[in-house]
Amino acid sequence: MTELKTTFAGLHLKNPIIISSSGLTDSADKNKKLCEAGAGAIVLKSLFEEQISMEAESLRNSEYSEGNDYLADYVRGHKLAEYIQLIRDSKKVCDIPIIASINCYTNSEWIDFAKQIEEAGADALEINILSIQTDRNYIFGSFEQRHIDILHHVKKVTRLPIIMKLGENLTNPVALIDQLYANGVAAVVLFNRFYQPDIDIKNVSYVPGEVFSNPSDVYMPLRWIAISSSIVDKIDYAASGGVHSAEALIKVLLAGASAAEICSVVYQKSPTCIKEMLDYLEFWMKEQGYDKISLFKGKLNAKDIKGLNMWERTQFLKYFSSRE
């Protein structure tokens, strides 16, 4: 009998498909439908530090400075209350792990919200630290250190499994992942998707770039999961970005992932794509003679290269050296 169960961040999932944080997961009703469609876990739409700070700042009044702190606390409290309710309502209608999500960029006191998120019944907490470093006086390594500092802070206030979702703007993801492991992270997701700005040349204005990922985006997480899981092998990995098909799901599992976070493909094809991906995964496992995911997970990570590490190859010499 083929079994699709997997373990991610200490959570037992009925299958390796996780719905990632997005507008797809911002209500209990939507989450119930995703659960019924076959999802293995759901990451709730993120609580954004930047959004909270901007809303609090918009209410500031220079004439009544003593009231500004009160207003800021009110905004934070209101946003948190809404989020706590989302967790509670989702847990009532879903029988799969519900993972809360915080999107942050500073190691500030508001991270203490993690304790209340735990009390609301979330099964784990995913932390996104996503920002572009552009300060000309930037101190090398400080961005990576911020990840460790935030993780350390959160670990002090909650016992929830902590998942770190990393951006791809890192010099050496393996070194950071190793430090996160040393500081108690349960799992890592590779990679977070940046907002992509674009330019409208007709109106000479800024516009959003492509919102959805595309299938070729899977190559970046595929490479780094294959490398990282062979070196820092005591934590779980999930792929994010470009997993638009069952074939891509199988690839990231072979590379060493325990699960994949999907979003764009659900927007584009509807939640029915979950069952289609799982049906093909089960078919492929039977065809290959695997009755458990653990039997092939990581089979093609960087430990299995037979003396030739394809995952660290960066040039196209083999393909283009004969072309002029």
Q: What is the CATH number of the domain that holds 257?
A: 3.20.20.70
- Which parts of the chain have pLDDT scores under 70? 49-77, 105-106, 109-110, 304-324
Contacts of 199 (CB under 8 A, 6+ apart): 205, 206, 207
- Beta-strand pair 6-8/98-104: unpaired
- Provide the pairing of β-strand 11-13 with 6-8: antiparallel
> Of 193, 260, 202, which is closest to residue 6 (Cα–Cα)?
260
Written as six digits, the tokens of 97 are 């792990």
Asked, for residue 1, whether it belongs to a domain, the answer is no
Q: How many CA atoms lie within 13 A of 88 on its CB side?
A: 9
The pLDDT, as a whole number, for residue 55 is: 55
Confidence (pLDDT) at 94? 98
Q: Give the number of domains in the chain.
A: 1
243 domain residue, yes or no: yes
At residue 39, the pLDDT reads 98
Angstrom CA distances, 4 to 1, 177, 198, stand at 10, 27, 40
DSSP letter at 216 equals G
> Does residue 266 fall inside a structural domain?
yes
**Full domain range(s) for residue 88:** 6-320
pTM (predicted TM-score): 0.88
Residue 261 domain-assigned?
yes
Tokens of 77: 């409290």
In a domain, 112, yes or no: yes
Q: Where are the beta strands (DSSP E) in the chain?
A: 6-8, 11-13, 17-19, 41-43, 47-48, 98-104, 124-129, 162-166, 187-190, 197-200, 205-208, 236-240, 259-262
